[in-house]
């Protein structure tokens, strides 16, 4: 059985009140449509057809060539959207229909749906869910044999039918010929004047076709995102899923309710995530790290044994055993070595820092190369902006240099190996290896040979 997926992603999303296409709103760092596509791929299905509408170009730009795109120029309901999608699948014998705004549907659930349809061969297999509060959803009325007898919309249901907790989750597998014929019988006989896919199932039942229900194990999987409130609920459910996977892999999450993680983040065993930690983008964290409280990592790469306390690390790499924080900020482009100490209120940007260096407090290093075992005193600043064009000039501090507190290093500048700058110095000229420079402007007052 070859199944071709159609993903409906053309909805306007009026309740979102947004200029962004609904399926591009992010959940745990990724547009929600990515989760649907990943589930389809993980279930072993062929490249899907994606039906797009408003914002089609933005959706295409985000997704590239992972789907075959067809455009529903006029939104006339879900049945019409499927009809548009079928134009790209003229010979498909079995069709899976699912929604681009249902991001929590798991690959395992899709596989169960596919297996049932393949083995039982009904005309339609319909995914259902049992909800504690089914108000607003179409109810699934089963026959004595357990198949679907009717689907009753909430507004049309009797009190007895409203008491039924099983609802239509909106994901279907259709036999292709039945779907095509059924679409021809759907009429817009509703207040919205739209063509509804549920009417195809209703028509199929009148023709004696068998419609099998398959109940999802976890009802949160079928949560649709139609509003900002739904978006927040989906974010929370996805975050719970991601944190559970991390904990199962040996990561300690002290307080999942206040820990935030994006899809795609990797964290090694025995790492501890304290409250207020946020791991975003393509962050990679090694084993035995301690993050937080209040640590934020964005596209960061941390080797084993790193501590980040109440600090931000963005698009930077950090070597083994380094300690960062509290209240430090590593801006993009930093390459921090092993066993480095970066302390209170240090800001570093586009800078390489060698092993064993200490930058303990209230310093700014930008566009610099700092060697190994350097001590950077409190209040040190690399003055790297030199002209109106915004060009940044480099500072080089060689191994084992000692930079005194409140040193102003006016780039371009090189501080030689083992050199010292005095507290409060404004250094405008290179300092030779082993020399001592003090004053405003700084002058070399002592020179010495550096060996080794």
Place of tokens 């609802």: 167
Element (H, E) at 67: none
Backbone angles phi, psi at 253, to 5 degrees: -115, 105
Report the distance separating Cα 362 and Cα 375, nearest Å.
13
Tell me the catalytic residues. Answer: 361
Q: Which of 84, 110, 193, 201 is nearest to 153 (CA)?
A: 201
What DSSP string runs through 106-172? -HHHHHHHHHHHHHH--SEEEEEEE-S--TTSPEEEEPTTSSEEEEE-GGG--HHHHT--EEEEEEE
Report the distance separating Cα 436 and Cα 446, nearest Å.
5
CB 307 within 8 A of CB 294: no
Q: Is 19 left (phi over 0), alpha (psi -120 to 50) or beta?
A: alpha
CA atoms within 13 A on the CB side of 311: 27
Report the distance separating Cα 163 and Cα 238, nearest Å.
29
Q: Which of 337, 328, 296 is nearest to 315 (CA)?
A: 296
Backbone angles phi, psi at 385, to 5 degrees: -95, 120
Contacts of 38 (CB under 8 A, 6+ apart): 107
> Pairing state of beta strands 272-273 and 290-291?
parallel
> Pairing state of beta strands 443-446 and 436-438?
antiparallel
Q: What does DSSP assign to residue 10?
A: -
Torsional sign, CA 381, 382, 386, 388: negative
Place of tokens 């279930």: 43
217-249 as b/e: b if 16+ CB within 10 A:
eebbbbbbbeeeebbeebbebbbebbbeebeee
């Amino acid at each position: 059985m070859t199944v071709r997926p159609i993903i409906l992603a053309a909805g306007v999303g009026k309740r979102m009140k947004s200029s962004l296409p609904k399926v591009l709103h992010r959940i745990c760092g990724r547009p929600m449509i990515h989760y649907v596509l990943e589930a389809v791929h993980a279930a072993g299905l062929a490249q899907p057809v994606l039906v797009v509408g408003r914002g089609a170009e933005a959706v295409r730009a985000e997704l590239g060539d992972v789907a075959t795109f067809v455009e529903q120029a006029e939104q006339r309901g879900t049945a019409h959207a499927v009809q548009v999608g079928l134009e790209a699948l003229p010979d498909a014998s079995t069709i899976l229909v699912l929604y681009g705004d249902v991001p929590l549907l798991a690959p395992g659930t899709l596989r169960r749906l596919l297996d049932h349809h393949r083995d039982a061969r009904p005309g339609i297999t319909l995914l259902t869910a049992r909800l504690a509060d089914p108000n607003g959803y179409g109810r699934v009325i089963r026959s004595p044999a357990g198949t679907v007898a009717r689907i009753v919309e909430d507004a049309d249901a009797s009190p007895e039918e409203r008491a039924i907790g099983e609802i239509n989750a909106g994901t279907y597998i259709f036999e292709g010929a039945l779907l095509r014929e059924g679409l021809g019988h759907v009429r817009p006989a509703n207040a919205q004047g739209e063509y509804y896919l549920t009417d195809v199932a209703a028509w199929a039942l009148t023709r004696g076709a068998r419609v099998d229900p398959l109940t999802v194990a976890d009802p949160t999987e079928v949560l649709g995102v139609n509003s900002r409130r739904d978006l927040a609920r989906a974010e929370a459910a996805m975050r719970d899923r991601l944190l559970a996977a991390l904990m199962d892999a040996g990561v300690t999450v002290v307080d999942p309710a206040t820990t935030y993680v994006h899809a795609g983040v990797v964290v090694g065993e025995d790492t501890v995530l304290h409250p207020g930690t946020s791991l975003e983008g393509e962050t990679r964290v090694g084993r035995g790290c301690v993050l937080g409280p209040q640590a934020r990592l964005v596209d960061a790469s941390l080797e084993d044994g790193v501590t980040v306390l109440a600090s931000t690390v963005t698009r930077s790499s950090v070597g083994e055993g380094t300690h960062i924080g509290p209240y430090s900020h590593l801006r993009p482009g930093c390459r921090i070595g092993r066993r480095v100490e970066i302390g209170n209120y240090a800001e570093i940007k586009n800078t390489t820092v060698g092993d064993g260096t200490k930058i303990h407090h209230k310093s700014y290093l930008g566009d610099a190369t700092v060697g190994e075992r350097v001590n950077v005193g409190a209040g040190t600043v690399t003055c790297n902006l030199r002209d109106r064009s915004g060009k940044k000039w480099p500072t080089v501090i060689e191994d084992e240099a000692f930079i005194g507190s409140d040193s102003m290093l006016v780039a371009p500048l090189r501080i030689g190996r083992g050199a010292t700058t005095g507290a409060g110095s404004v250094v405008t000229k290179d300092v030779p290896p082993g020399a001592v420079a003090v004053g405003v402007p700084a002058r070399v007052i002592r020179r010495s040979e550096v060996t080794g």
